[in-house]
Amino acid sequence: MHLPFETESEDSFRAAATRLGLIVLQSDEVIEGEFRRLLDLEDVSLLHSRVPSGREVTPETLALMEAELPAAVRLLPPGLPFDAVAYACTSGATVIGEARVAAAIHEVLPCVAVSNPLSAAKAALRALGLRRIGFVTPYVAVVSGAMRDNLTGDGFEIAAFGSFEVAEDGVVARMTPACILAAIRRVQTCPPTWLLVKVIRWVVTKGTVPDSGVMM
């Protein structure tokens, strides 16, 4: 039995929601769930794609993603108008470069707004009038160092810093809320004006942050 159906008009469908694209690392196990909790809104549609990535976070594996980004963007549903596309990798945006990440996405979607966690964090810090910050990362020293150089090069002062110095994404995804909170408290004792925490699932999903300011 053939059943009749109706579809929304093209104009109605395209205008129905703010449509966001998220380019997720192949090795990332948590960010899609985090974004579902952050963007639990009827008028926001979040669509994901994956980009090949190494299990270890090193400058070499991060740099390789630049060539893969256009193909990852092409895996988003074709023909849909996107309001913004984000590359969900702070360390990758640092090593590749924020402008080069945007250029790779614009190869496929020339007019779309582009973001990444590094650019977003700096924009938020500026919007809040914050310059002197503490900084917590999960990365190995060479990657964390590149991020610190990027922040200081853009006018921020790193008043205190700490890192777990872990290379494997799978290990980072399983760090406990307790150990992350302990790291935040330890870096806070310096004390910085604000804490920029480049970690991990706990930031969005669990626990209570310390009393002074923490930006995730």
pTM: 0.84
Is residue 33 in some structural domain?
yes
Predicted pLDDT at 25: 95
101, 66 Cβ separation under 8 angstroms: yes
Cα 181 to its chain centre, rounded Å, is: 20
Predicted pLDDT at 55: 86
* Number of folded domains that form the chain: 2
pLDDT greater at residue 57 or residue 203: 57
Domain that holds residue 24: 10-116
Distance set, CA 126 to CA 2, 44, 91, 132, 135 (Å) = 58, 26, 20, 11, 16
DSSP 54: -
If asked whether residues 110 and 17 sit together in one domain, one would say: yes
For 91-150, the pLDDT digits (tens) are 999 999 999 999 999 999 999 999 999 999 999 889 988 898 888 889 999 999 999 999
For 6-40, the pLDDT digits (tens) are 987 766 666 667 899 999 999 998 888 888 888 88
If asked whether residues 100 and 165 sit together in one domain, one would say: no
Q: What is the CATH number of the domain that holds 74?
A: 3.40.50.12500
pLDDT higher than threshold 50 for residue 210: no
Predicted pLDDT at 16: 62
Number of Cβ atoms within 10 Å of the Cβ of 196? 25
Is residue 5 in some structural domain?
no
DSSP 213: -
Angle between helices 59-74 and 141-153 (to 10 degrees): 70
pLDDT greater at residue 70 or residue 179: 70
Predicted pLDDT at 205: 41
If asked whether residues 89 and 182 sit together in one domain, one would say: no
Predicted pLDDT at 193: 60
Which of 86, 116, 146 is the endpoint of a domain? 116
Place of tokens 């777990």: 164
pLDDT higher than threshold 60 for residue 204: no
For 47-90, the pLDDT digits (tens) are 999 999 988 899 999 999 999 999 999 999 998 899 999 999 99
pLDDT higher than threshold 50 for residue 42: yes
96, 65 Cβ separation under 8 angstroms: yes
Is residue 4 in some structural domain?
no
57, 139 Cβ separation under 8 angstroms: yes
If asked whether residues 111 and 146 sit together in one domain, one would say: no
Average pLDDT over residues 200-204: 40
